[in-house]
Structure 1
Amino acid sequence: MKTTRYGATAPMPESLRHFMRAGHHPARSIPCPHCGVAVHRPCQVPSRGVPMAQVHQQRIDARARTVACCPTCQVTPTVPCHANGRALDDGAVHATRRTEADRSAA
């Protein structure tokens, strides 16, 4: 007779599961535009598929663009940052927008 130590776990809402991921960078809540990994998965070295300890800068910028307003160029979430009327290269964001996104995650 086979017994299990633990029964079936209770389903956890995704809203709670996200905050229970202690120690993970908040940018892991979106897919990585650089290496293409899914939500909540660690970034990988694109050429070898080896998981990385850090998160790609493009993923951090994508999260900041999604959740925070930019104090420097005064744009709302999902709108790309700009300088002199032109969008920043490669979807980059201002450092103040990253700071604002980190503040909202805390």
Structure 2
Amino acid sequence: MNRPPAAPMPLEVRNLMRARQHPARAIDCPHCGAHDRDPCKTISGRRLLTEPHPARVSAWAQTTACCPDCQVEPTVPCHDEGRARTTVHDRRYQEAQETAA
């Protein structure tokens, strides 16, 4: 059965959908390799996820905000008394969300 082509999505609807996306989708996901603006996917690549991976959110916060806890600038990883962390401090997440709002 042949279907007629779908109507193009109106620009207002497209912009509204992008506004609802998590701001972490602005960067590539270090966990699954999803490109910027694309949703995260399972490692097998079969299912698209509604929320970004925690590693992507952490990378986004590190890229966009200073950390009030360890006093580092954007792009510099958080640390605990000189020991590198694999994620950012909770307060850095908050700073990044306030910056994105």
How much is the aligned-residue C-alpha RMSD, in angstroms?
A: 2.0
- Partners in 1 of 2:74 and 2:46 — Cα distance? 31
Using the TM superposition, give the Cα deviation of residue 42 of structure 1 relative to its aligned residue in structure 2, in angstroms: 0.4
Other-structure match for 2:76:
79
Q: Deviations over 1:60-87 (max 9, x none)?
A: 0000000100000000000000002111
The reply to whether residue 99 of structure 1 matches residue 89 of structure 2 is no
Report percent identity of matched pairs. Answer: 51
The answer for unaligned runs of 5 or more in structure 2 is 1-13
Give 2:24's aligned amino acid: A
For 1:49, the equivalent position in structure 2 comes to 46
Q: How many residues align?
A: 89
Alpha-carbon distance between aligned partners in 2 of 1:79 and 1:19, rounded to the nearest angstrom: 32
CA displacement, residues 36-66 of structure 1 (integer Å, 9 cap, x when unaligned): 0111000001124310111100000000000
